[in-house]
Amino acid sequence: MATYLIEVMDSEGNRQKKVLEVETEEDVFRIIEFSGLIPVKVKKIPSIYARLNPKRLFYRVKAGEIIEVLENLHLVVKTGVPIADGLLDIAKDTENPFLREILTDIAYRIKAGYSLSKAFGHYSNVFPPIVISLIQLGEETGSLDKTLKDAAEHLKRIEDIKAKTKQALIYPSFALVSIIGALTFWLVYVLPKIIDAFKELNVELPITTVIVMEMSYFTRKYLPYIVAVLIVLAVVVKIGRSKSWRFRYETDKLLLKLPVFGNILTSFNLAFFSEYLRLMISSGLPLYQALYILERAIGNLVFKTAVKNARERIEQGSSFSDALKEEGVFPPLVIRMVAIGEKAGGLEQQLEYISQYYYNRVDYLAQNIAKMIEPIVIGIVGAFMLLIMIGLIGPVYDLISKIAQMQ
C-alpha cells in the first residue's frame, strides 16, 4: 500500500489537496476520475502522512454510527440502488466529517473497480473485522443484504453487552472511590483536631489511639507523595500495557481475578466470545476462519491467547471442546455445551445459548451489583470506624475519670 499526496481541481476551478492510500498509482487516477475531479499534481509521500489527517486525529467513528451505516447500506442493496451511489447518499447525511470522508472514499474506490469488502477493508481500523468478513462472505454467496443486516444486529448486541458491563462496573468503582475519599477526609481533617484536643488536656493515650494518630500523621504528611505515586503508577501501567505483551497479558489476567470486577469482565468476554462465534458460524464461515477473525477482535489478551491456542490445536486435529478445555480459561458449562453442539451438529444453537446465558448474567450483575457489594462496603467502613471509635473512647473515658476525681 502506497500513500500519495494529490492536488486536484473541481468543476468550478477550485483546488484542493488530498492524501490517498492505494495499491498502485493507476488507482489514484481512477479514483480521481470517478470523483469528478481533474488531477493537477500527484506525489508519492511517506505513509505516516495518512495518519496525520486532522479529521482522523480529532474525530472518532462510534459503534452507533457504524450500525447506522450498515443498516442504511442493507436497504440500499435490498432496493437495488447502485452501492457506490447509495454510499454517497449516506455520506451526505452523515454528521461526522471523518466518517463522511471515509464513506465518500469507499464509494469512489468502488467506482474505480474495488469490491465492497476490499474498499471497506482499507479502513480496517474503523470497521470491525467481522463486518469486513461478513461483507466479503455476502459478496461471495450473493447474500450481501442479509450479511449487512446480520452485521448491524451483531454490533447492536455487542454494544448492548458493553453498555450493561459498564453499568455493572460503575457502582463498585464509585463505591471504592467514595470509601477512599471518606477515609482520607477523616484521617486528614477530622481526627487531627480531636487528637490535638486530647494532647492539650494531657490525657493518657492507649495503644489504639496511638495507632489512629500515626495513621492520621502518615496520611497528612505523605498524601501528596501517595497521590503522585499513584499517578506515576497509572502512567507506567498504561505504557507497560502498550509496549509489553507479557505485561499486558499479566495485567489482563489479574483483572479477571479481581473480586466483583473479575466476575463482570469474565462474563462479558464469554458473552462476546460466544456471540461473535455464533454469528460467523451461522453465516457459513468455517470454524477455523471464524476463530482467526475472533482472535483479532477480542480485547482481553488472556482470552485472545486462548482463542489462538485453540485454533492451533484444531488445526492439529483436536476437537473444538477439547481445545477449549486445554486452555483452562473457559468454564465447564461452556465446554460441555460446545461438546454437545459438536456431537449433535448444533454448535450454532449451543453458542446462542451460551451467549444468552452470559448476556443475562451481565444484565443480572448490572441490576444487582449494589446489593452484592453492599456487605463489603459496610464491612470496610465498619472496621475503620470501629478502630477510630475504640481509639477515641479510651481517652474520653480517661478524661471523664479525671474530671470525676477533681470533683
CATH of 2-52, one of 2.60.120, 3.40.390, 1.25.40, 3.10.20: 3.10.20
Q: What is the DSSP string of 98-116?
A: HHHHHHHHHHHHHHTT--H
Question: From CA 54, how far away is CA 236, in angstroms rounded?
Answer: 28
Which helix (H) or strand (E) segment holds residue 7: the answer is: strand 2-9
| Inter-residue contact 402 to 204 (CB < 8 Å) | no
| Inter-residue contact 330 to 354 (CB < 8 Å) | no
> With bands split at pLDDT 50, 70 and 90, how would you rate the model's confidence at 279?
confident
* Overall average pLDDT of the 119-147 stretch: 85
> With bands split at pLDDT 50, 70 and 90, how would you rate the model's confidence at 46?
low
- Per the model's pLDDT, the better-predicted residue between 323 and 30 turns out to be 323
- Per the model's pLDDT, the better-predicted residue between 72 and 369 turns out to be 72
Place of cell 479502513: 123
Tell me whether strands 15-22 and 38-45 are parallel, antiparallel or unpaired: unpaired
Tally the residues of the chain: 407
Question: From CA 22, how far away is CA 31, in angstroms rounded?
Answer: 10
- Per the model's pLDDT, the better-predicted residue between 396 and 82 turns out to be 82
- Per the model's pLDDT, the better-predicted residue between 40 and 313 turns out to be 313
* Overall average pLDDT of the 227-243 stretch: 89
Question: From CA 70, how far away is CA 55, in angstroms rounded?
Answer: 21
Measured CA distances, 397 to 112, 206, 261, 384 (Å): 89, 11, 43, 20
Predicted local distance difference test score (pLDDT) of residue 308: 92
Question: From CA 407, how far away is CA 399, in angstroms rounded?
Answer: 13
Predicted local distance difference test score (pLDDT) of residue 154: 84
At 32, which amino acid appears? I
Question: pLDDT tens digit string along 312-336?
Answer: 998 888 888 889 888 888 999 889 9
- Per the model's pLDDT, the better-predicted residue between 189 and 335 turns out to be 335
| Inter-residue contact 46 to 124 (CB < 8 Å) | no
pLDDT at residue 51 greater than cutoff 60: no
Mean pLDDT over all residues of the chain? 80
Predicted local distance difference test score (pLDDT) of residue 114: 82
pLDDT at residue 294 greater than cutoff 80: yes
- Per the model's pLDDT, the better-predicted residue between 188 and 56 turns out to be 188
Show the CA angle centred on residue 302, arms to residues 296 and 307, nearest 5°. 50
Comparing 17-26, 277-286, 309-318, 371-380, the range with the smallest average pLDDT is 17-26
Answer positive or negative: Cα dihedral of 193, 194, 195, 197.
Answer: positive
> With bands split at pLDDT 50, 70 and 90, how would you rate the model's confidence at 232?
very high
Residues 6+ apart with CB under 8 A from 405: none
- Per the model's pLDDT, the better-predicted residue between 187 and 230 turns out to be 230
Measured CA distances, 406 to 106, 194, 403 (Å): 92, 23, 5
% residues pLDDT > 90 (the chain): 6
Domain spans in the chain, listed from the N-terminal domain onward: 2-52, 62-127, 156-407
Answer positive or negative: Cα dihedral of 140, 142, 147, 148.
Answer: positive
At residue 93, what are phi and psi to the nearest 5 degrees?
-90, 5
Question: pLDDT tens digit string along 146-157?
Answer: 888 888 888 888
% residues pLDDT > 70 (the chain): 77
Question: From CA 266, how far away is CA 299, in angstroms rounded?
Answer: 12
Beta pairing partners, 9: 15, 38
Q: How many CB atoms lie within 10 A of CB 108?
A: 23
- Per the model's pLDDT, the better-predicted residue between 17 and 346 turns out to be 346
Comparing 81-90, 151-160, 192-201, the range with the smallest average pLDDT is 192-201
Predicted local distance difference test score (pLDDT) of residue 57: 52
Cα–Cα nearest to 392, from 133, 148, 206, 176? 206
Comparing 10-14, 137-141, 286-290, the range with the smallest average pLDDT is 10-14
Question: pLDDT tens digit string along 371-394?
Answer: 767 777 777 777 777 776 776 666
pLDDT at residue 130 greater than cutoff 60: yes
**SS3 of 146, please?**
helix
Predicted local distance difference test score (pLDDT) of residue 16: 65
> With bands split at pLDDT 50, 70 and 90, how would you rate the model's confidence at 39?
low
pLDDT at residue 59 greater than cutoff 80: no
- Per the model's pLDDT, the better-predicted residue between 26 and 113 turns out to be 113
> With bands split at pLDDT 50, 70 and 90, how would you rate the model's confidence at 49?
low
> With bands split at pLDDT 50, 70 and 90, how would you rate the model's confidence at 395?
low
| pTM recorded for the entire structure | 0.71
Is-same-fold flag (2-52; 156-407)? no
Q: Residue 127 carries which DSSP code?
A: S
pLDDT at residue 207 greater than cutoff 60: yes
Greatest mean pLDDT among 87-91, 105-109, 279-283, 301-305: 301-305
> What is the distance, to the nearest Å, from the Cα of residue 45 to the centroid of all Cα atoms in its chain?
33
Measured CA distances, 146 to 294, 350, 353 (Å): 20, 22, 22
* Overall average pLDDT of the 133-162 stretch: 85
Q: How many CB atoms lie within 10 A of CB 261?
A: 16
Residues 6+ apart with CB under 8 A from 323: 309, 310, 311, 313, 314
* Overall average pLDDT of the 116-131 stretch: 85
| Inter-residue contact 357 to 375 (CB < 8 Å) | no
**SS3 of 78, please?**
helix
Predicted local distance difference test score (pLDDT) of residue 302: 92
**SS3 of 399, please?**
helix
| Inter-residue contact 358 to 270 (CB < 8 Å) | yes
Domain 156-407: which topology? Receptor-associated Protein (1.20.81)
